[in-house]
Amino acid sequence: MHFCAAEDEFEDVCFQFGVELEHGSAEEMQMNRVDGNGGAVNLSNEYVYKIEVAANRYDLLCVEGIAKAFRVYLGLDTLPRFEVKHSARELQQIIVKPETQSVRPCVVACILRDIRFNLASYNSFIDLQDKLHQNICRRRTLASMGTHDLDKFRGPITYEALPPNQIVFQALKQTQEMDCNALFEVFRNDVKMKKFLPILEPFDKYPVFYDQDRQVLSLPPIINSERTKITLDTRNVFIEITGTDIMKTKICLAVLAAQFSEYCEGEWRHKVEPVQITYEHDPSKSEVTPTMAYHDFDVELEYVNRILGLNLDVEKVAECAQKMGLVMKGANEGRTAVKVEIPPTRADILHPCDVIEDIGIGYGFNNIERVFPQNNTVGLYQPINKFTDLIRAELAQAGYVESLTFSLLSLQDNYKRMRQEVNFDECV
């Protein structure tokens, strides 16, 4: 298959935006997809495009996010403003029990109302969760998410930790109810699920969500309940995220909720309903999530131009920032600094340099004039390196064998798997 003009342009846009594009058959790209009931979909005849994005751009891990980012970059659209919206109902509540704090202490949640899934958006919703689990969640160890049909259970919800033999439910894709001990025995033969079991196995109690009727919603971070699974007919989605890192859970919630509020209809489009999180052991930790807060960054114009090697004015900086989905909120009185608003989905922006990088992409790195360096230098061997090479050659000729040890290995590889005692005194 050859690129047509439009595909050639798409490849060029990917390059300018700073992402890499691969393409080929679904088999070559190792693509899998499930249908609305969790079954496999035949992709053998499909031609697919794989876009590789930076590890910290969680907002680009689904087709909705990257399509919106490209449209904004090309000036065809603007980013929607994501907001928290309260319904006429009382806030859904998660009551966090004290015993969960020793296992998986952090909880956040939200609700997407009046959502309409088709097969493509449903698959994308599941796929984004999988990508977040592998990426920022570090294979579910730092955070994991569960999504449920809100109309299939009643709140308030309790988040508890119980011995595995006391947690009995029908897990997703299982045909019968069983306790966690029996369920884990089943999962030991499951290639996908068995790698998550060690997250909970060291603990005497496992975390679990119950609804008002004592029906299990999920066993995080392993699996959800069959009873509350979402389908193409789901209209209200309840999202819960647990973990050991509160910032990671909040980032995942913001990204997941923002990207798929696109499919909410009417007054709920780009709106998220919050959930009350109540910690029984420490009421001061109780909060309402998510906030979908926007953050401001002040960036000096001189700093922007010095880093990029350009001479941009305030208007040009605003134009470049807007192409990357950042909102220009104005300049200071002397027009020497600009204020940029960062959306809640851009957790990768932590410093003015991150804003400057986006401004550079918006300007186009290929548009920066090439110049010769002001200083002309000639590279030479460091004397110590030259001397070392001479010694190595002499020792090799004398019959010695050189050994280059692995320096960047984990304690597990360096010591435990070698049955050695850990000795930090000899570590570099």
373 in any annotated domain: no
Q: What is the mean pLDDT of residues 172-178?
A: 91
Whole-Å CA distances, 323 to 49, 296, 304, 331: 23, 17, 16, 18
CATH number, domain of 170, equals 3.50.40.10
List, for residues 66-75, the tens digit of each pLDDT value: 999 999 999 8
Classify residue 248 as exposed, middle or buried by CB count within 10 Å of its CB (0-12, 13-18, 19+).
Answer: buried
319 in any annotated domain: yes
Q: What is the mean pLDDT of residues 183-198?
A: 91
Helix (H) or strand (E) holding 41: none
Q: How far apart are CA 140 and CA 88, in angstroms?
A: 34
One domain, residues 277 and 218 = yes
One domain, residues 28 and 131 = no
162 in any annotated domain: yes
pLDDT of 384 strictly over 80 = yes
One domain, residues 92 and 46 = no
Q: How far apart are CA 390 and CA 392, in angstroms?
A: 6
Nearest alpha-carbon partner for 24 in 3, 6, 9, 10: 3
Q: What is the mean pLDDT of residues 5-29?
A: 78
208 in any annotated domain: yes
Q: Which domain holds residue 205?
A: 83-289
- Is the backbone peptide bond immediately before 290 cis, with ω within 30 degrees of 0? yes
Positive/negative CA dihedral, 379, 384, 385, 389 = positive
165 in any annotated domain: yes
pLDDT of 35 strictly over 70 = no
147 in any annotated domain: yes
List, for residues 146-168, the tens digit of each pLDDT value: 999 999 998 899 999 999 999 99
One domain, residues 69 and 207 = no
One domain, residues 220 and 332 = no
Domain-ending residue, one of 260, 289, 318: 289
pLDDT of 25 strictly over 80 = no
One domain, residues 198 and 329 = no
Number of domains in the chain: 4
Among 11-25, 29-43, 317-331, 375-389, the minimum mean pLDDT is found in: 29-43
Q: How far apart are CA 8 and CA 412, in angstroms?
A: 46
pLDDT of 135 strictly over 70 = yes
One domain, residues 104 and 178 = yes
List, for residues 325-372, the tens digit of each pLDDT value: 998 888 888 888 899 999 999 999 998 899 999 999 999 988 888 888
Among 37-46, 86-95, 238-247, the range with the most confident prediction by mean pLDDT is: 238-247
One domain, residues 249 and 140 = yes
20 in any annotated domain: yes
Q: How far apart are CA 16 and CA 73, in angstroms?
A: 10
One domain, residues 49 and 194 = no
pLDDT (0 to 100) of residue 23: 74
Beta strands in 309-391 (DSSP E): 327-331, 337-342
Q: What is the pTM of this model?
A: 0.80
CATH number, domain of 24, equals 3.30.56.10
One domain, residues 175 and 26 = no
Average pLDDT of every residue of the chain: 88
One domain, residues 190 and 263 = yes
pLDDT-derived band at 406, boundaries 50, 70, 90: low
Describe the chain by its helix, strand, coil percentages, rounded to 5.
Answer: 35, 20, 40
Question: Is 186 in a helix, a strand, or coil?
Answer: helix
One domain, residues 38 and 140 = no
Asked whether 341 and 355 are in contact (CB, 8 A), the reply is: no
280 in any annotated domain: yes
pLDDT (0 to 100) of residue 3: 46
pLDDT (0 to 100) of residue 359: 93
